[in-house]
Amino acid sequence: MEKNLEKVEGPPAYTNEGTLIKPQAREPYDSGVSFEEYYYYAKKTRKEQEALEPPVLNIRQYFKKGSTDTDNEPAEEITTHLTEEDFTNRAKRLEISDEEWTNASRAFRSASWGACFYLITTDILGPYGSGFAMGTLGWGPGIAFYTVFGFMVGYSGYLIWRVYLGVDSYEFPVKNYGDLGFRTFGHGGRHLTNILQGLGLLLITGQVTIQYGENISQISKFKLCYAVCPVLFAIAGFFITQIRTLKAYGWIANLAVWLNIFVIFMTMGVMANSEPNFAISTLGSAGSATDPTTITKVNGSYPPIIHYANIPPGNGLIGSVNGMLSGVLAYAGAQLFVEFMAEMRRPQDFIKAMWSAQFFIYSVYLTYGCVVYHLQGQYSFNPSYQGVSIYGWQTLGNMVTLIAALIAGGLYGNIGIKVVYNNILVDIFKVPPMDTHRGKLIYALLVPLWWIIAFIIGAAIPDYFGFVSVMSASMLLNLSYTLPPLFALGFDIQKNSIRAEDGDGFDPTTGPVASSGSVTQRWVRGFFAGGSFQVAINIWHVIYFLASLSMCGLGMWAAVIGMIDAFKIPQLNSFSCVSPLNLNA
Structural domains in the chain (count): 1
Residue 164 lies in a domain: yes
Q: Is the pLDDT of residue 301 over 70?
A: yes
Residue 16 lies in a domain: no
Distances (CA, A) of 419 to 72, 450, 493: 31, 12, 27
Instruction: Give the gyration radius of the chain's Cα atoms.
Output: 25
Tell whether the torsion through CA atoms of 181, 187, 191 and 194 is positive or negative: positive
Q: Is the pLDDT of residue 1 over 60?
A: no
What pLDDT does residue 558 have?
Answer: 86
pTM: 0.84
Kindly give, in sequence order, each residue whose CB lies less than 8 Å from that of residue 172, ignoring residues fewer than 6 positions away.
23, 26, 33, 37, 38, 41
Owning domain of residue 185: 34-70+110-496+530-566
Helix and strand numbers (H, E) in the chain are 22, 3
Question: Cα torsion for 56, 59, 65, 70, to the nearest 10°?
Answer: 0
Look up residue 304 and give its amino acid: P
**pLDDT tens, position by position, 476-489:** 999 999 999 999 99
Q: Which residue has the higher pLDDT, 245 or 438?
A: 438
Q: Alpha carbon 154 to chain centroid distance?
A: 13
Whole-angstrom distance, CA of residue 566 vs CA of residue 529: 51
Residue 409 lies in a domain: yes
123 confidence band (pLDDT: 50, 70, 90) = low
Residue environment code for 201-239, b if the CB has 16+ CB neighbours within 10 A, otherwise e: bbbbbbbbbbbbbbbbbbbbebeeebbebbbbbbebbbe
How many percent of the chain have pLDDT more than 70?
Answer: 84
Q: Which of 293, 329, 249 is nearest to 69 (CA)?
A: 249
What pLDDT does residue 96 have?
Answer: 73
512 confidence band (pLDDT: 50, 70, 90) = low
What pLDDT does residue 2 have?
Answer: 36
Residue 510 lies in a domain: no
83 confidence band (pLDDT: 50, 70, 90) = low
Q: Which of 344, 356, 581, 326 is nearest to 470 (CA)?
A: 326
Q: Alpha carbon 91 to chain centroid distance?
A: 37
Q: Is the pLDDT of residue 91 over 70?
A: no
Q: Is the pLDDT of residue 35 over 60?
A: yes
Point out the least confidently predicted range of 21-30, 345-354, 369-378: 21-30
- Residue 200: give its domain's CATH number: 1.20.1740.10
Whole-angstrom distance, CA of residue 131 vs CA of residue 425: 42
**pLDDT tens, position by position, 323-346:** 888 878 878 888 889 988 998 989
Contacts by 217-223, CB closer than 8 A, 24 or more apart: 217/579, 217/581, 217/582, 218/386, 218/394, 218/395, 218/398, 218/579, 218/581, 219/395, 219/398, 219/399, 221/391, 222/578, 222/579, 222/581, 222/582, 222/585
Q: Is the pLDDT of residue 71 over 90?
A: no
Residue 137 lies in a domain: yes
Residue 474 lies in a domain: yes
**pLDDT tens, position by position, 282-296:** 888 999 888 889 999
82 confidence band (pLDDT: 50, 70, 90) = low
Tell whether the torsion through CA atoms of 526, 532, 538 and 543 is positive or negative: positive
Contacts by 536-540, CB closer than 8 A, 24 or more apart: 537/492, 538/489, 538/492, 538/493, 540/485
Residue 412 lies in a domain: yes
What pLDDT does residue 570 have?
Answer: 63
Residue 370 lies in a domain: yes
The residues with which 493 forms a beta bridge, in sequence order, are: none
What pLDDT does residue 271 have?
Answer: 97
